[in-house]
Structure 1
Amino acid sequence: MASFNLLYIFDPLCGWCYASSQILATLADRWPGQLNMLPSGLFSGAGARTLSTAWAAHAWSNDQRIEAATREVFSIAYRDKVLADTDTAFDSSPINRALTAAQQIDATLEPRLLRHLQLARYVQGENTSSTQVVARLTAQFLIRIGHQIDSVVLARQLASCEALARQTDERIQTTQALMNRFGIQGVPQLLVRVDERTHTLSSKALYQGPAFLMNELRLLLGSEVA
């Protein structure tokens, strides 16, 4: 089988990215060393915004369409605790930085942490635009799998560590350059780099289940994909 890498472009606060996270888990289980997580910055930096009543209504309407199409749960707790809190921001920066910190411990932790934080937001109703909330949830995740970390220290790092902020921004800039190169405007998007060529998979591959995904990959990578 040809040498390949999987490039997953996402934003942590994108509902469609949450809906594709089970397929992401399939990729992470099957090819942990070849999966590259690429944060797009869609809802961070200039893309961050105030969580207004109008934006919350727009987000909830969109989330309901996603749930109907994919059966991923967007709970009432999420609607009432997260979207109703118009004193907070809609900003994926804390999660992006937490993912970068996790990647520096072990790159294979990143997709698992993303799923953990997405479920905390969309099912449990945790405000994952809050640095303190993201630090607490990330520390819980890392401690559970054997990494000792203090959530208070992590919160300070997510809020004010210049090196972590710079590393996260560099990842986003690299992703945006890749998106511009291939004319990608939305997320999530899965790219497959085979030897020196990069292929864009159909968005259906992220929502139609593992069998559909494996068939799409088999077309690119050959019959060794089971």
Structure 2
Amino acid sequence: MKLIFVGDPMCSWCYGFQREMTTIAEAMPALEVQVVLGGLAAGSTQVLDDAGKQFRLGHWARVEQLSGAQFNREALLARKNFVYDTEPVCRAVVTARLIEPSANLLTVFGAFQRAFYVDGLDTTDAKVLAAIGASALKAAGFDVDADAFLSVWSSEEAVRVTREDFALTRRLGVSGFPSLFVELNGKIGLLSSGYTSAASVQQTLMRLAA
């Protein structure tokens, strides 16, 4: 049995779900978890104006109320000419997978989430992403520097594999993030769409395993 997590590091509901997802993975260490990057707003060219900021702050308030996740609102409001393109950060998670296939991608995914939502960093900037990604891999015991990370992130392979993740997201019929699927006996089924509790997911997984 495999759990497939589909999300985007710059999706606020995915950020709110981080603690639940971590709880699931830690409670079921034998469970294989596949991380698929969804590309919430991949390729967007729209500059985040005041109305867009207020729209996101409204989402953030709901996520915070439900999950307890903390947000750096001041950093969002202070952004100038910010384009909410999530392809670069999705590609950064894919880059970590390409560099170290054995790395815990949920941890790497979480590092980019914290960088954007808590530290207020620009996770559309290549050099910022490289620094975050290298740091996350180093913390996990892998010897990777920012320059090496940036080189892979900039490669045609990283772009191609990221697009493959986006294509898989479409084939799965994902209608919202985060989404969880279960692959069992060669068949894939939707487990949940949107924020849900770790306890609910674990109960379903244990029932399926039995």
Common topology (TM > 0.5): yes
Cα-to-partner distance string for 1:145-172 (whole Å, 9 max, x where unaligned): 22222213423442x3112111111121
Report the equivalent of 1:21. 18
SS in 2 for 1:89: coil
- Tell me if the contact between 1:11 and 1:40 (Cα under 8 Å) persists in the aligned partners: yes
Report the equivalent of 1:66. 63
Report the equivalent of 1:221. 209
SS in 1 for 2:35: strand
- Compared with structure 1, are the counterparts of its residues 40 and 34 closer, same or farther at alpha carbon in structure 2 (3 Å cutoff)? same
Take 1:213 and 1:113, find their aligned partners in 2: how far apart are those partners? Answer: 22
Take 1:101 and 1:32, find their aligned partners in 2: how far apart are those partners? Answer: 25
SS in 1 for 2:172: helix
What is the aligned residue count? 208
SS in 1 for 2:62: helix
Q: TM-score, normalised by structure 1?
A: 0.82
Take 2:151 and 2:77, find their aligned partners in 1: how far apart are those partners? Answer: 25
- Tell me if the contact between 1:9 and 1:188 (Cα under 8 Å) persists in the aligned partners: yes
Q: TM-score, normalised by structure 2?
A: 0.88
SS in 2 for 1:59: helix
Mind listing any 5+ residue stretches in structure 1 that lack a counterpart? none
Match of 1:168 among 162, 168, 173: 162
Report the equivalent of 2:181. 191
Deviation at residue 189 of structure 1 after TM alignment: 0.7
Report the equivalent of 1:89. 83
Take 1:20 and 1:152, find their aligned partners in 2: how far apart are those partners? Answer: 31
Q: Does 1:55 align with 2:52?
A: yes
The alignment's C-alpha RMSD in Å is 2.1
Report the equivalent of 2:112. 117
Cα-to-partner distance string for 1:179-214 (whole Å, 9 max, x where unaligned): 2xxxx311111111211332322447x532x33322
SS in 2 for 1:56: helix
* Superposition map of 1:95-134 within 5 A: 95-104=89-98, 105-134=100-129
Q: Percent identity?
A: 26
Deviation at residue 68 of structure 1 after TM alignment: 0.8
SS in 1 for 2:121: coil
Report the equivalent of 2:196. 207
- Tell me if the contact between 1:43 and 1:49 (Cα under 8 Å) persists in the aligned partners: no
SS in 2 for 1:129: coil
Report the equivalent of 2:136. 141
Match of 1:151 among 140, 143, 146: 146
- Compared with structure 1, are the counterparts of its residues 64 and 32 closer, same or farther at alpha carbon in structure 2 (3 Å cutoff)? farther
Deviation at residue 107 of structure 1 after TM alignment: 4.3
| Comparing 115-124 and 146-155, the one that deviates more | 146-155
| Comparing 35-44 and 210-219, the one that deviates more | 210-219
Deviation at residue 20 of structure 1 after TM alignment: 1.0
